[in-house]
Structure 1
Amino acid sequence: MSARGREEGGDGRQHREDPGHQARGGRRHGTFEKDDLDHPEELVAALKDAPGPTAGFGALTPAARRSWVLHLTQARQSATRISRLRKARAKILGGEGFNHR
């Protein structure tokens, strides 16, 4: 064990003060906000217009909300996003995420 390792904690490991750093395996894991994605305009409009999807979407877990946002934003055309949103309404109200089986 080097003298530097003993000075830093006695066990020879060097730990960083970075909150995204995990000492095990030297892998870095960042922290993300739970709702860090921009919601598509069609979803925002649907949530404002109808009370049903608002309650359903808000009741979803952050991962389920994220899965729906990703599904909707992958469509290039607005018409496709609207169609996907109409098809998803029952699942969203049922509390299911996009990948729910």
Structure 2
Amino acid sequence: MAFTNTRGRYASFGVMTSLPDDIIDSFWYVIDNYLKHVYPLNSVLKFELINRKGKTTLRFSQKDFPLEIAIDFLIPFDPYYPRQVRIVDNKGRETIMLIDEYQLL
């Protein structure tokens, strides 16, 4: 099962230049507190950033998994945020990346 043996956490250049640190940290918070050891996780997770009343909501989903989870944060939403990111677990090296960066793998 992915995301159970974390050896390092990273954010791609695209993520680092398009999202603030508190949003990036929120992805890891969701994984650690709502997903890990609760649901069987694939090695690729999909997150959407949603504007909910001016605040940021992160919606989690993964391939072949019928459940979607949305978590609201008090972080102001910026319309220039990317709409989706992927988080990949590569043998314990977990990386957040933009869709375009993920498709280059």
TM-score, structure 1 length as denominator? 0.29
TM-score, structure 2 length as denominator? 0.28
Larger radius of gyration: 1
Q: Normalized per residue, which structure has more strand?
A: 2
Task: Identify which of structures 1 and 2 has the higher relative contact order when contacts are C-alpha pairs closer than 8 Å and 6+ apart.
Answer: 2
